[in-house]
Amino acid sequence: MGIELREFMNWARRRKTFASLLVGATLAIGILIGAIVPGGALARRAEGPSGAAMLAVPEPVALSNAFSGITKRVEPAVVNISTTQVLQRPKSAGKSHNFGNNEDDLLNRFFNSPDDSPDAERSIGSGVIVDKKGFILTNQHVIDGATRIQVSLDADSRRFTAHVIGSDKETDLAVIKIDTDQDLPVAPLGNSDGVQVGDWVLAFGSPFGFSSTVTAGIVSAKNRAAEAEGQGQFQRFIQTDAAINPGNSGGPLVNMAGEVIGINTAIYTGSHGFEGVGLSMPSNVAIGIYNQLITTGKVTRGAIGITFDDRVSQNPVTMKELGAPYGIVVEATDPGSPAQKAGLQPEDVITSVNGQPVHNGYELVSPIAATPIGQTVQLHLIRGKQPKDITLTVEDRSKIVPTAFEPAESDTQDQSADNGQLGLHVQDLSSDLSQKLGLGKISAGANPGVVVTNVDPASFADDLEFHIGDVIQAINDVPVGNLAAYHREMSKLQPGQDVLFKVKRYDGGGDHVLIVPLGGTIPTASAQ
């Protein structure tokens, strides 16, 4: 039995060894066939006439998709904003041209190509939809002075005309709205207080007009002031090295949770392009401004009526002499202001507002500005090196802080010219001017019509292709021989009504005068 057992075990080992060799040989043959036969066949199929091997497209490799995932969620809510803005004319010409005073210059304008004297500037910007009904956050400077605002959505060929809900120059933020027949995609807003230096962020927008553009970077700094660029005291930015260029203004800065934590506002540059320093208004500021604008159309801020210089408060010698470790030094109080009523004095050092330390002007102004009008704030200050607490009632900043004088419209309007209804500026046609325009001499007592002195870009008149120098002779077949008759007929026009102007125009390419009918439908207010 012992011999038989040993023989059986030897046989089993030999069988196992044979099986292993057989499997190994099979694998080797398979590898050889896969490497030689298909490779050789493929090589023969892939060779071009010159003998060079053809290149094959490899299988796509799935790498990190965090950025692409955020982009797919946020980008549909990012819009391109294009505006048309009236350019400021030379002071010698004024808002409306007066042919009687400056005929030669205006005649040159009339006979030259429109390209020689552009009347409008077209610019681009970005925005982000924050409400499905079409409310969009953007920068105030993107839409400032625009006569027409058009919005393009991602993957939508249509262009929507937007109207301004409200804007705030102090923070350079604005809210505009477009009207659609469907709910729009919305980008969620995040809490910018949670942003940390070094966090990854994405910037969305339309740099140089290239819509649907996204760039990546990190948060480089927080609470960055921009006084060197002439920015206001209510602006403290998130600084990022994500590429922000002209056209990115108003677009969102997004964190890795896909939340908007800033509105891209400005860049520091010496070349008008990206140099690694972009500034974004924090979302918490934008939310507060947005809520006020959609509620009242304007931003109301509180104030107490003091004057200070941030630089004085940063001087360690000054602060030591005043006995304060930090704070804002009061230089003066406005007459009748809450500060004067509460007894604040020059050289008082305000060290906290409502228990929150004050190290700079922003930390003083911001909480007071955010306090509802009529409510109180608690100030802790150092006076004569002794601590003191004062309670003040906050008042409306616009009633305390003087604003730049703006003349009334009646002070600047040329009473001899039309006020620009439908984008037309006109005046009575004199006999001398009529001859210079090639329209012939006007007989005594005749009422030849009114001459167009200016056409507002992007206006209804511009759409109808009125020219400077056109003479309007009739409106809806009713003669308008002078300015009074013109005003009378224009006042009868209503939104949605068809209107036909009979226009006399000098043919600069020939020796005769054209009679040109210019007609259209009066736009509604929302379409202006």
The 3-state DSSP class for residue 273 equals: coil
Q: Which amino acid is at 157?
A: S
Write the CA distances from 278 to 136, 149, 164, 226, 397, integer angstroms: 21, 25, 26, 11, 30
Which entry of 172, 348, 428, 456 is annotated as an active-site residue? Answer: 172
Q: Is the separation of the CB atoms in 128 and 79 below 8 Å?
A: yes
Q: Is the separation of the CB atoms in 280 and 263 below 8 Å?
A: yes
Please confirm, yes or no, whether 141 is among the known catalytic residues: yes
CA distance 494 to 518: 17
Cross-strand pairs, 120: 86
**In this structure, how many other beta carbons lie within 10 angstroms of the beta carbon of residue 182?**
6
CA dihedral 258, 263, 269, 273 (to 10 degrees): 70
The 3-state DSSP class for residue 386 equals: strand
Which entry of 97, 141, 380, 425 is annotated as an active-site residue? Answer: 141
What lies within 8 Å, CB to CB, of 306 at 6+ separation is: 330, 331, 332, 333, 334, 337, 339, 344
Write the CA distances from 211 to 94, 134, 206, 327, integer angstroms: 37, 19, 4, 45
Joined together, the tokens standing for residue 339 give 């500060």
Which entry of 82, 152, 220, 249 is annotated as an active-site residue? Answer: 249
Containing 287, the helix (H) or strand (E) segment is helix 283-296
Rg of the chain over Cα atoms, rounded to whole angstroms, equals 36
The 3-state DSSP class for residue 271 equals: coil
Vertex 509: Cα angle to 508 and 513 (nearest 5) = 60
Please confirm, yes or no, whether 172 is among the known catalytic residues: yes
Write the CA distances from 140 to 119, 134, 286, 287, integer angstroms: 22, 17, 12, 15
Please confirm, yes or no, whether 249 is among the known catalytic residues: yes
The 3-state DSSP class for residue 81 equals: strand
Catalytic residue ranges: 141, 172, 249
